[in-house]
Amino acid sequence: MELSLLGKVAIVTGASRGIGLATAKEFIDSGAEVVLVSRDESALAEIKSNLGQKAEYLAVNLGHLDEISKITEFVLKRYSRIDILVNNAATNPYYGKLSDIDLMLEQKTLDVNLLGPLELIKLVYNLYMKDNGGSIVNIASVGGLNIEWNIGFYNVTKAALIHMTRQLALEMGPAVRVNSIAPGLVKTKFAKKLWEDKETSIAENLPLKRIGVPEDIANMALFLASDRSSWMTGQVVVVDGGASVIPSGGVS
- Per-residue pLDDT, 70: 98
Highest mean pLDDT among 135-139, 148-152, 207-211: 135-139
- Say if residues 226 and 174 touch (Cβ distance below 8 Å): no
Q: Is residue 200 classed exposed, middle or buried when 0-12, 13-18 and 19+ CB atoms within 10 A define those classes?
A: exposed
In the set 57, 94, 128, 154, the catalytic residue is: 154
Residue 249 confidence (pLDDT) above 80:
no
The residues spanned by each domain of the chain are: 9-237
pTM above the 0.85 mark?
yes
- Per-residue pLDDT, 192: 66
CATH 3.40.50.720 assigned to domain 9-237? The reply is: yes
Give 193's pLDDT tier (boundaries 50, 70, 90). low
- Say if residues 154 and 109 touch (Cβ distance below 8 Å): yes
- Say if residues 161 and 137 touch (Cβ distance below 8 Å): no
- Per-residue pLDDT, 191: 72
Residue 189 confidence (pLDDT) above 90:
no
Give 50's pLDDT tier (boundaries 50, 70, 90). confident
The whole-angstrom separation of Cα 153 and Cα 157 is: 6
Q: Is residue 131 classed exposed, middle or buried when 0-12, 13-18 and 19+ CB atoms within 10 A define those classes?
A: exposed
Q: In what order do the strands lie in the sheet with 176-183?
A: 55-59, 33-38, 9-13, 84-87, 134-139, 176-183, 236-239
154 is catalytic: yes
Torsional sign, CA 163, 165, 166, 170: positive
> Taking the CB of residue 136, how many other CB atoms lie within 10 A of it?
28
Q: Side chain identity at 239, as an amino acid letter? A: V
Lowest mean pLDDT: which of 148-157, 160-169, 192-201? 192-201
**H or E element, residue 135:** strand 134-139
Give 251's pLDDT tier (boundaries 50, 70, 90). low
